[in-house]
Chain A
Amino acid sequence: MFLALKEIRHEKLRYGLIIGMIVLVSYLVFVLSGLAYGLAQQNTQAISSWRASKVVLNVDANNSLSQSLLTKHDVTKAQLTKHEALIGQAGVVAKAKGKAKLSAQFLGIDRQQLIYQRVKVTSGHKPHNAQQIVVDDSFKENGYHLGERVTLNSTDTTYQIVGFTHNAKLSVAPVIYGTLGAWRTLSHVTGAFQAGGIVSDRATFKPQVAGLQTLTLAQFINKLPGYSAQNTTFTFMIGFLMIIAMVVIAVFLYILTMQKLPNYAVLRAQGIPAKVLVTTTISQALILVVSGLAIGAALTAATVLALPVGVPMSFNLSLLIGVTGGILLTGIVGALIPVKVILNVDPVSVMGG
């Protein structure tokens, strides 16, 4: 530690630049993974808030809730308990006088059932009748307010916003919670169809009804339009970014160690044990990488605060630990690749003729 710190203090510019490089690389990885994760979440946030484990859809719906229709007969045979809830999804365009139009996902739910109970309203209240709706916070960011009357698609009916809910996004669009009746109107289906699908929080729920299929929540989410494609893209992007970042850091620390060999030769000639040189090298790599990561994380936090509300950015602990751990590890590996060279450094090389 003594040698490691003394050297950093004496060579401020060189070490400052290396820390700066690690800061930039880790900042890039943090921000991009935060953005990717944030976007992934916008596909599924609403679904997560239901805390469901199974979704039942029509077999012909190709795993898509918005394409699925269940008849009264289907629903009766499925034998719902208080652990199940009916739901219908319709893509809509919301508009109000003087406000920007918003593309949204309308979710029709039943006021007696699970989803209605689990939706958390951050301001206002839950709907009491078919003309009332609860909408995602992003409506508020677009100037919509409590009590505002909005029309959906080209229907004449107006709906009143009575509540806002936080983080309710489905397929990257804000969610509007209303009734199943309104859903029927918006999807142009008759009263013969009771809902689009059934959501259950029982892992064992699996109605044996011809024409229905039961998906786990993970299956359902992976089949969301564009979701897997998007996630695969981001996973590869972040994966490649991480690999490149790690290689760059490892190479820098390798070069750094190699440049110190003449000094190590002097120390070896003085009888300083090789162990001291190796610990010096490792602790120096740790100091550089840890301070780089810490500053990178602080910059990321500052960026999160400075970003406009609409930019999705969120972090996942295991992702952060993975990124941090990966960078830390490669830093040490990079510094240690030349350890054999350090151990064999020839003190005679500095003795001169």
Chain B
Amino acid sequence: MAVLEVKHVTKTFGHGTNEVTVLTDVNFSAAAGEVSLVIGPSGSGKSTFLTIAGGIQTPTTGDVVVAGSGLSQLSGKARDALRLNQIGFILQAYNLVPYLTVKDQFALVDRVKPQGNLDQAERRQLLAQLGISQLVDQYPAELSGGQTQRVAIARALYQNPDIILADEPTAALDSDRVKVVGQLLHDLAKDHHKAIVIVTHDLRLQAYADRTYAIMDGKMTVA
């Protein structure tokens, strides 16, 4: 069943002679229990696609339907709530709050969303799996790129969202870690019935995907 549908989405930036069309009539759907991979080179529109799919950017035309509701119909508040409760973002740039320790990044989630997060045991297991159990008292500035990325993954998964949108989640990881992250996302889809969408140029992730799309100059095709 499709929990996330992107329907005829076009995105243009700028006006007049500066106008650039970044996405052209993109159609896409992600189902619970599946890993969807969108592969494209740098500048092809992957991040734009993912942020529109997750409701933090609005399409110029077209709409995104999450769990049955069209995002364009929702108020800003309702979109916030939907994002907090149902969508987990793993961003491309490192997206941790610099003044919170790893532990506090999770505490912040508990504060704004007291219910529906992973429990203690599940969190401990997640941190162990990602190899970051030892880092809970560190600040983001004290982490390496790969460690930061893994903490960002853990933070997004901790919210236990139905949909996980990951933007180049393996960019800073070595091959062993790529396997761990790929397997983890794959297992989340299979065992926990999540819908996983990964945009990347990392072909190594193809092994964990149920479907693969290609994106090129803003046009998406089924690979």
Interface residues of A (CB under 8 A from B): 2-3, 6-7, 9-11, 263, 266-274, 276, 347-348, 350-353
Contact B97 A267 (CB under 8 A): yes
* Cβ–Cβ contact B95 & A269, under 8 A: yes
List residues of B (176-210) whose CB comes within 8 Å of A's CBs: none
Which residues of chain A come closer than 8 Å to B107, judged between CB atoms?
2
Nearest neighbor of B141 in chain A, beta-carbon distance:
A10
For the A-B complex, the count of residue pairs with Cβ-Cβ distances under 8 Å equals 77
- CA of A273 to CA of B81 in the docked complex: distance in angstroms? 7
Question: What are 21 contact pairs spanning A and B, CB under 8 A?
Answer: A3-B97, A6-B99, A6-B104, A263-B99, A266-B97, A269-B95, A270-B89, A270-B95, A270-B109, A271-B83, A271-B85, A271-B89, A272-B112, A273-B112, A347-B51, A347-B56, A348-B47, A348-B57, A351-B93, A352-B91, A353-B92
A7 touches B99 (CB 8 A): yes
Chain B residues near A347 (CB-CB < 8 A): 51, 56
Q: Is the CB of A266 within 8 A of B108?
A: no
A-B interface, 9 closest residue pairs, ranked by CB to CB distance from nearest: A352-B93, A271-B84, A10-B99, A271-B83, A347-B56, A7-B99, A352-B92, A273-B80, A266-B95
A281 to chain B, nearest CB (A): 14
A350 in contact with B56 (CB, 8 Å): no
How many Å from the CB of A49 to the closest CB on chain B? 57
Are B84 and A272 in contact, CB atoms less than 8 angstroms apart?
yes
Verify B92–A2 contact, CB threshold 8 A.
no
Are B98 and A263 closer than 8 Å at their CB atoms? Answer: yes
- Quick one: CB contact mask for B31-47 with A, threshold 8 Å, 1 for yes? 00000000000110001
- What CA separation (Å) do A11 and B100 show in the bound complex? 11
In the assembled complex, the CB of A225 is this many whole angstroms from the nearest CB of chain B, namely: 59
With A263-B97, A276-B112, A351-B51: A10-B139 Cβ-Cβ less than 8 Å? yes
Does B96 sit at the interface, judged by CB under 8 A? yes
Q: Mark B56-82, 1 if CB is under 8 A from A, else 0.
A: 110000000000000000001100110
Contact partner, B111, options A2, A9, A266, Cβ 8 Å = A2
Residues of B within 8 A of A270 (CB): 84, 89, 95, 109, 155-156
